[in-house]
Amino acid sequence: MSDTQQAIGVSRFPAIIFRPRWRGRPELLVVAALIAAVGWLVAVPLGMVIWGSLRDAAPGLPGELTFNNFVRAYHNVRLIQAIGNSLIFASGAAVISFLGGTFLAWVTERTDAPLRRLIYALVLVPVIVPGILFASSWLFLLNPTVGILNKFAAYCCGLETPIVNGYSMAGMIWAQGVDNFSLPFLLMAAAFRSMDPSLEEAAQVAGANVWSTMRTVTLPVLLPSVLATLLISFIRALESFEVPAVMGIPAGISVFATEVWLALSRRRPPDFNLSATFAMGYFLITIIGVYLYHRATKSSERYVTVTGKGYRPTRVKTGWWRWPITLFSLLILSVAILLPLLILLWTSLLPFYMVPSWQAVSLISLQNYRDVLALDSAYDAFINNLIVGCSAAAIGVMLSAAIAWVVIRTRLPGRRILDMLALSPIAIPGTVMGIALLWLYLTLPIPIYGTLWILLVGFLGKYMTFAVRSSYASLTQIHPELEEASTSCGAPWLKTFTRVTLPLMAPGLLIGFLFILSLSFRVLSLPVMISHVNTRMLPSFIFDLYDQGKYEVLSAMGVMIMLFLLVIAGVSRYVSGRFGVQETH
Amino acid sequence: MVNLTKPVSSRFVGAVLLTLLAILPAAGSALGASAEEIYAALAKMPKEKRQQVIVERAQKEGKLVVYGSSEEDQYKAIINGFNKHYPNIKVDYLRAVSSTIVAKAVMEVNAGRWLWDLSSAGSGYHDIKQAKAAARHYGLVAEDPYPKQFMGSDWFSFEVLPLVIAYNKSMVKPADVPKSYDDLLDPKWKGKVAIDANPDSIVTAMIKKWGKEKTAAWLDKFINANQALLRRGHTAQTQLLTVGEFPVASELYAYRVELMMEKGATIDWVVPTDVAEAELPGYVIAREAPNPHAALLFSQYRTSKEGQNIYGKFGRITVHPESDVKYARLREFTKKPLLDRLTLISVEDTKLWEDASELIDKYIVPRLKAK
């Protein structure tokens, strides 16, 4: 890696240029405010979770300190086996989603392949569609007895044994992996967009072809983004319960999330102490992941790609590969995203899910769409969602940009703690975080319970971490010499930060914004605990429809949400094109 | 990490305790008479005078907050019906699955915040009792002819939710349809019958009807010898039964199967002859309800013939003997002789859930092996 960089002329710069002293520096105020904000948003709920794991009574009830919860949670051997399954499942899914997402990001951001906009729009679709819909679609596609793929194979080739079996570890990994293309795609697209193409050009001038350029230059240079993406995908798969529930349970495959569900679902109301203790398990795995990430990206200057030397992203000329690359991308998208989407669309037109047949075609109607439009209280939830999602996303990216700057650009004491704090909420399951926040704001004299503010605080605390990761990845690629130049010209710190650093980080920040916004439309566990009569969010309605067995109405809602997403994607392309780094062709 | 958070959490706990000390006495003194005390006084009044007082005071309160797990559109229809009689009483409804809504309700009460008037209790009744959150209603919620078995001293139920054996008509011949849970042990059903991976409701009913030992023996044979198919969720099972992944599902909600049949699905159901389980989803009024009269008036409306008819239109099995139920076959669940045959699981049976949980841990969970 470093040999390659040296060969293509990337010199080593001193990495850290900002060494703030403790007095007379305005940025220190920002740092103090930042630590206070992250501390309040994250450390306090996290403290409650740790505290809960060490007590024998629910919040608000008298109890004693104990380690018994750990014995209750982790006493059996099954759990160790389940954790082993989880590691296989999450690693497999993370690799699939990383490879798929990264390849598609490279095609749309770094090549001149045609139909890039179409690819960009398609790959973003699953970001906002409820996870349970995609999991159910895969269930109908890969089902060993009634799955459409097996039925099709039997019809066309007369095969009697199923060609695919979704009720298996491979089926689970596939469904989880392809459902999560979007996150690696977004993170890697931001990284590709901020990358100095002179590195690739140099490789090509030296005789490397498209593939070896990608393998030996592009990916190694992007190592921090690659590792951050893998880490986040891994942890998300670890937490995921939809796919293990619908495909793992029938296969008799238990993962950590299934064991947590088994242990908690029969306790009513939910056992906060046991939930908190399971959260500690996720937390430990996350800490190990973050530690490994830091070890691998220790010298951040190795990954600097945006320097002050004539930075201008251009696209790789793929020559006669142009169309094969596009066709291959469309093939991946067809298999990974279009197939489940077609199932959604098909179901949304029927009174209930049916295997395609002429009889089913005769039952097609738009009734489910009419039913969705009749859910008038869903409009309020949608507006609440937009307000909370956009605010949390906007504040989240601002905070994350500042956190990234402190962690990567300064040597302030405590920056590693800030880093760890900013990432830790990813390890706390939404329900546990929800209970912690519920109790916190029920007891403290801060009157935000029952308002949208508590949802904003909750979303910021739990999901800011995604924006932080993408900000890190962005900032690591920007050389400090650009900020140094600004400071040398006399610009104060704040001006440098807002006029130089932030605009260069824009692609990464936009990704963080979109991702937090999309999560506000997808996740149920957090808002369901802290929303109240007038502050319901859209996921509550989505879950209600599923819980009521109205899968076909939910599918119609999924299709409508997708159309909404396509508009958002179009707008974001326009905005990032205007305010991000300009492309040259 | 631990070093960092420990001081934070101890400071936080201190803050919580101080706040509690400040809030609780103030909250207690501000509340005045509890809902339970008000109902005790109302129960002593002559019936006509009492109803007049309830309506007057409810209108003065002007609102109530309901926490429930019933579907949004169904509740909305009931609220609309209620508002035709009492347009000045605003009903706010917060819906979530039963366990979540009870957790919320209990946590609020434990924090000394009485934010709800009426709440679903589900199988969290035990915790509601522990938190002393439910008000005794002295029979004011419903009178004759509302069936007594759907009413406790501090809870009441609006409906009955039976679990039935459902089957795919294109895969099971009429003569082969299993009639009981015992029939499902026949080797011909090996690997063909689905059950939820966490079938707590039906196992609780079996323990109530058969005792723990017989239930354990049945589970062992059904799950292990007959290789029952474990699936997650009744919704997914209903869909998979309809498309024919398996011919029989052992415990689906009867009204859900009827809804699918109405849409044209080729499935049907039978009431098992040995254990005919029916859950009674319970509701409670908060002991310190902020709007006790409105909560009572709304509960009376929900148990009235009119309120029950609105609910029945959605296919739900209401229990008022004069109310209509959309599907005629489901009506039988609230009439003799089927009613007498039902193993009713009310909120008061929550202790049995612990036994059920133990058996599920022993016979079902090990099927989810690490592979």
| b/e code B154-193 from CB counts within 10 Å (16+ = b) | bbbbbbbbbbbbbbbeebbeeeebbeebebbbeeebeebb
Q: Does A356 touch chain B (CB under 8 A)?
A: no
The β-bridge partners of A111 are A316
Mean pLDDT, rounded, for B44-73: 92
Task: Give the model's pLDDT for residue B41.
Answer: 93
The percentage of chain B sitting over the pLDDT mark of 70, rounded to a whole number, equals 90
Find all residues with CB under 8 Å of A549, minimum gap 6, and list them. B234, B235, B238, B239, B256, B259, B260
Spatial distance between the Cα atoms of B365 and B189, rounded to a whole number of angstroms:
21
Task: Give the model's pLDDT for residue A393.
Answer: 93
Decide if pLDDT at B22 tops 60.
Answer: no
Shortest CB distance from A442 goes to which of B107, B240, B244? B107
Of the listed ranges A369-373, B12-16, B167-171, the least confidently predicted one is B12-16
Q: What sign does the CA torsion over A36, A37, A38, A40 have?
A: positive
Q: Is residue B20 part of a domain?
A: no
How many angstroms separate the CA of residue A269 from the nearest CA in chain B?
Answer: 5
Decide if pLDDT at B102 tops 90.
Answer: no
Task: Give the model's pLDDT for residue A207.
Answer: 81
How many angstroms separate the CA of residue B107 from the nearest CA in chain A?
Answer: 7
Decide if pLDDT at A300 tops 70.
Answer: no
Decide if pLDDT at B366 tops 70.
Answer: yes
Q: Which residue has the tokens 């969290």?
A: B124
Mean pLDDT, rounded, for B349-358: 84
CA torsion, points A17, A18, A24, A27, in degrees to nearest 10? Answer: 150
Mean pLDDT, rounded, for A129-156: 82
Decide if pLDDT at A267 tops 60.
Answer: no
Q: Is residue B221 part of a domain?
A: yes
Task: Give the model's pLDDT for residue B357.
Answer: 86
Are B178 and B192 members of one domain? Answer: yes
- The string of pLDDT tens digits covering residues A561-579 is 778 767 776 776 676 666 5
Domain region containing B288:
54-158+280-330
How many angstroms separate the CA of residue A394 from the nearest CA in chain B?
Answer: 27
Task: Give the model's pLDDT for residue A23.
Answer: 53
Q: Give the angle subtended at the CA of B200 by the CAs of B199 and B205, to the nearest 5°.
A: 105
Mean pLDDT, rounded, for A135-142: 85
Spatial distance between the Cα atoms of A164 and A178, rounded to a whole number of angstroms:
16
Are B147 and B171 members of one domain? Answer: no
Interface contact flag, B23 A58, Cβ < 8 Å: no
Helix, strand, coil % (nearest 5) of chain A?
75, 0, 25
How many angstroms separate the CA of residue A70 from the nearest CA in chain B?
Answer: 16
How many angstroms separate the CA of residue B304 from the nearest CA in chain A?
Answer: 25
Are B228 and B285 members of one domain? Answer: no
Of all residues in chain A, the one with the smallest CA distance to B104 is A529
Q: Is residue B37 part of a domain?
A: no
Number of CB atoms found within 10 A of residue A572's CB: 17
Interface with chain B: mutation pick from A89, A266, A431, highest number of B CBs within 10 Å:
A266
Are B147 and B119 members of one domain? Answer: yes
Pairing of strands B282-285, B118-120: antiparallel
Which of A5-9, A275-279, A398-402 is modeled with the greatest confidence?
A: A398-402
Are B98 and B218 members of one domain? Answer: no
Decide if pLDDT at A20 tops 60.
Answer: no
Q: Is residue B179 part of a domain?
A: yes
Task: Give the model's pLDDT for residue A13.
Answer: 37
Decide if pLDDT at A279 tops 70.
Answer: yes
User: In this structure, are residues A140 and A353 in contact, taking their beta carbons and an 8 Å threshold?
Assistant: yes
Per-window interface: A 414-453 vs B, CB < 8 A: 417, 420, 424, 435, 438-439, 442-445, 449-450
Q: Is residue B264 part of a domain?
A: yes
Are B261 and B167 members of one domain? Answer: yes
How many angstroms separate the CA of residue A509 from the nearest CA in chain B?
Answer: 28
Task: Give the model's pLDDT for residue A239.
Answer: 79
Shortest CB distance from B107 goes to which of A60, A250, A531? A60
Q: Give the angle subtended at the CA of A483 by the CAs of A479 and A488, to the nearest 5°.
A: 130
How many angstroms separate the CA of residue B145 from the nearest CA in chain A?
Answer: 30
Pairing of strands B63-68, B118-120: parallel
Interface contact flag, B8 A39, Cβ < 8 Å: yes
Task: Give the model's pLDDT for residue A10.
Answer: 35
Q: Is A530 left (phi over 0), alpha (psi -120 to 50) or beta?
A: alpha
Q: Does A362 touch chain B (CB under 8 A)?
A: no
Confidence tier at A382 by pLDDT (50, 70, 90): confident
Decide if pLDDT at B6 tops 50.
Answer: no
Per-window interface: B 1-60 vs A, CB < 8 A: 1-2, 4-5, 8-9, 12-13, 15-16, 19-20, 22-23
Are B176 and B212 members of one domain? Answer: yes
Of all residues in chain B, the one with the smallest CA distance to A544 is B71
Q: Any idea what the CATH number is for the domain that residue B304 is in?
A: 3.40.190.10
Task: Give the model's pLDDT for residue A268.
Answer: 57
Confidence tier at B138 by pLDDT (50, 70, 90): very high
Of all residues in chain B, the one with the smallest CA distance to A552 is B239
Task: Give the model's pLDDT for residue B302.
Answer: 94
Of all residues in chain B, the one with the smallest CA distance to A79 is B370
User: In this structure, are residues A455 and B123 in contact, taking their beta carbons and an 8 Å threshold?
Assistant: no
Q: Name which residue leads in pLDDT, B131 or B286.
A: B286
Confidence tier at A26 by pLDDT (50, 70, 90): low
Q: Classify residue B225 by its DSSP letter.
A: I
Q: Is residue B320 part of a domain?
A: yes
Are B269 and B289 members of one domain? Answer: no
Task: Give the model's pLDDT for residue B59.
Answer: 95
Shortest CB distance from B19 goes to which of A248, A353, A444? A444
Q: The whole model's pTM is what? A: 0.80
Q: Does A39 touch chain B (CB under 8 A)?
A: yes
Shortest CB distance from B13 goes to which of A51, A254, A534? A51
Task: Give the model's pLDDT for residue B234.
Answer: 83
Are B307 and B187 members of one domain? Answer: no
Q: Does B92 touch chain A (CB under 8 A)?
A: yes
Shortest CB distance from B72 goes to which of A253, A377, A420? A377
Interface contact flag, B264 A351, Cβ < 8 Å: yes
Q: Which residue has the tokens 């199923």?
A: A162
Q: Is residue B39 part of a domain?
A: no
Confidence tier at B10 by pLDDT (50, 70, 90): very low
Of all residues in chain A, the one with the smallest CA distance to B102 is A269
Task: Give the model's pLDDT for residue A306.
Answer: 56
Radius of gyration of chain B (CA): 23
* Average pLDDT across chain A, whole number: 79
Q: Does A86 touch chain B (CB under 8 A)?
A: no
Mean pLDDT, rounded, for A445-454: 88
The β-bridge partners of B164 are B252
Are B243 and B131 members of one domain? Answer: no
Spatial distance between the Cα atoms of A114 and A104, rounded to a whole number of angstroms:
12
- The string of pLDDT tens digits covering residues B32-58 is 689 999 999 999 999 889 999 999 999
Residue from A196, A194, A188, A147 nearest A167 by CA: A147
Residue from A470, A539, A464 nearest A45 by CA: A464
- Distance between alpha carbon A280 and the CA centroid of its chain, in Å? 21
Confidence tier at B301 by pLDDT (50, 70, 90): very high
Q: Does B240 touch chain A (CB under 8 A)?
A: yes
Mean pLDDT, rounded, for A489-497: 79
Q: What sign does the CA torsion over B58, B64, B70, B75 have?
A: positive
Per-window interface: A 227-256 vs B, CB < 8 A: 245-246, 248-254
Are B260 and B180 members of one domain? Answer: yes
Q: Name which residue leads in pLDDT, A458 or A416.
A: A458
Q: Does A564 touch chain B (CB under 8 A)?
A: no
Q: Name which residue leads in pLDDT, B198 or A29.
A: B198
Mean pLDDT, rounded, for B241-257: 93
Are B262 and B346 members of one domain? Answer: yes
Q: How many domains does chain B have?
A: 2
How many angstroms separate the CA of residue B71 from the nearest CA in chain A?
Answer: 7
Interface contact flag, B238 A549, Cβ < 8 Å: yes
Residue type, A546: Y
Distances (CA, A) of A139 to A234, A245, A543, A548: 22, 11, 18, 19
Decide if pLDDT at A538 tops 90.
Answer: no
Helix axes A26-38, A415-423, angle to 10 degrees: 40
Q: Is residue B7 part of a domain?
A: no
Confidence tier at B18 by pLDDT (50, 70, 90): very low
